[in-house]
Amino acid sequence: MIVAESAAEVRAQIRAWKQAGLSVGLVPTMGYLHEGHASLVEKSRSLCDRTVVSVFVNPTQFGPGEDLESYPRDFAHDCALLEERGCDMVFHPDASALYPPDFATYVEICSDMPKQLCGKTRPTHFRGVCTVVTKLFNIVTPNMAFFGQKDAQQLAIIRRMVRDLSMNVEIVACPIVREADGLARSSRNSYLNAQERAAATVLSRSVAVGRDMAARGERDARALVAAMKTVIETEPLARIDYVDAVDGVTMQPVDVVRDGVLVAMAVHIGKTRLIDNFIVGEGV
């Protein structure tokens, strides 16, 4: 497995692969990898000849007071997992390589999409996401890029960015990977102590209630969301950021539950902010 720290190294290898007629998949990550990330690598390997994984904690998607400095990092562990899963190249740049001191250009969707859900409390987050993903696409020039459904709003925004900017890359969504007790895999789960870890299952239990209501024909979005909030509010350690039902493509709020609606949440368990979601009409 190649470990590249510069854009020049990546571009040289990508050029050689493409000259040999090979397709390239990209899995963008912030590291501290788990089975959710591994599933993206495996999907890329099933569809592309070569797989590149970026490991980069992107500073521009963190707001003031967020966990940029404390975000978990373990590059040796990441490399071991990726080599085991058959990754061909890891791109692990220094922040100064992607953001020089005079950096002044950002990519931003100028609609209400990034203002919904997570954007309500993280107003600059998706500008940072779009900027770094654009840079990664420009460096790696992948045929396909793989993103997890857990970050559903991010996925929708990247799809819109790719469409609007005519980027030559196919975006592939991959299902949420969960622990045995239902908790969605997340690097931030490592922040949880034992009591908080047990409490965090309230997110997936709330998702199960909402999914069951939709499957049984509930069409009132307010009623479905209210029932999910009631589940979360039974947990003393949980503090709701949001639980909302939105159009799965535009992220606009909806009143009627129908196939394709995204029901998403962000919940603080102690000091840790976790997210989860489901799409009406789709499997787990």
We report the CATH number of the domain holding residue 203 as 3.30.1300.10
Q: 284: pLDDT confidence band, cut at 50, 70 and 90?
A: low
**Residues 274 and 184 sit within 8 Å (Cβ to Cβ):** yes
Q: 116 and 219: one domain?
A: no
- Write the single-letter amino acid at 203: L
Q: 176: pLDDT confidence band, cut at 50, 70 and 90?
A: very high
pLDDT at 93: 98
What's the number of domains the chain is made of?
Answer: 2
Choosing from 121, 148, 174, the residue where a domain stops is: 174
For residue 284, being part of any structural domain is answered with no
**Residues 60 and 88 sit within 8 Å (Cβ to Cβ):** no
pLDDT at 282: 86
Q: 141 and 248: one domain?
A: no
Q: 149 and 13: one domain?
A: yes
Query: 24 has which bridge partners?
Result: 50
Buried b (16+ CB within 10 A) or exposed e, 105-139: eebebeeebbebbbbeebebbbbbbbbbbbbbbeb
Q: 39: pLDDT confidence band, cut at 50, 70 and 90?
A: very high
Positions annotated as catalytic residues are: 37
**Residues 42 and 146 sit within 8 Å (Cβ to Cβ):** no
**Residues 254 and 247 sit within 8 Å (Cβ to Cβ):** yes
- Write the single-letter amino acid at 109: I
Q: How far apart are CA 29 and CA 40, in angstroms?
A: 10
Q: 128 and 13: one domain?
A: yes
Token digits of residue 120 = 């309500």
Count the residues in the chain.
Answer: 284
Q: 101 and 234: one domain?
A: no
For residue 282, being part of any structural domain is answered with no
Q: 28 and 166: one domain?
A: yes
The percent of residues above 70 in pLDDT, for the chain, comes to 99
Domain that holds residue 170: 2-174
Buried b (16+ CB within 10 A) or exposed e, 8-30: ebbeebbeebeeeeeebbbbbbb
For residue 283, being part of any structural domain is answered with no
3-state secondary structure at position 206: helix
pLDDT at 283: 65
> For strand 238-247 and strand 261-269, is the pairing parallel, antiparallel, or unpaired?
antiparallel
Q: How far apart are CA 133 and CA 258, in angstroms?
A: 31
The percent of residues above 90 in pLDDT, for the chain, comes to 99
Token digits of residue 133 = 């993903």
Token digits of residue 106 = 């950002």
At 12-35, the pLDDT tens digits run 999 999 999 999 999 999 999 999
At 43-93, the pLDDT tens digits run 999 999 999 999 999 999 999 999 999 999 999 999 999 999 999 999 999
Q: 124: pLDDT confidence band, cut at 50, 70 and 90?
A: very high
Choosing from 174, 201, 222, the residue where a domain stops is: 174
As separate numbers, helices (DSSP H) first and strands (DSSP E) second, the chain gives 9, 9
Q: Name the CA radius of gyration of the chain, rounded.
A: 19
Read off the pLDDT of each residue in 89-107 and give the average, rounded to a whole number: 97
Q: 33 and 120: one domain?
A: yes
Q: What is the pTM of this model?
A: 0.96
For residue 254, being part of any structural domain is answered with yes
DSSP single-letter state for residue 151: G
Where do we find the tokens 């503090």? 239
3-state secondary structure at position 101: coil
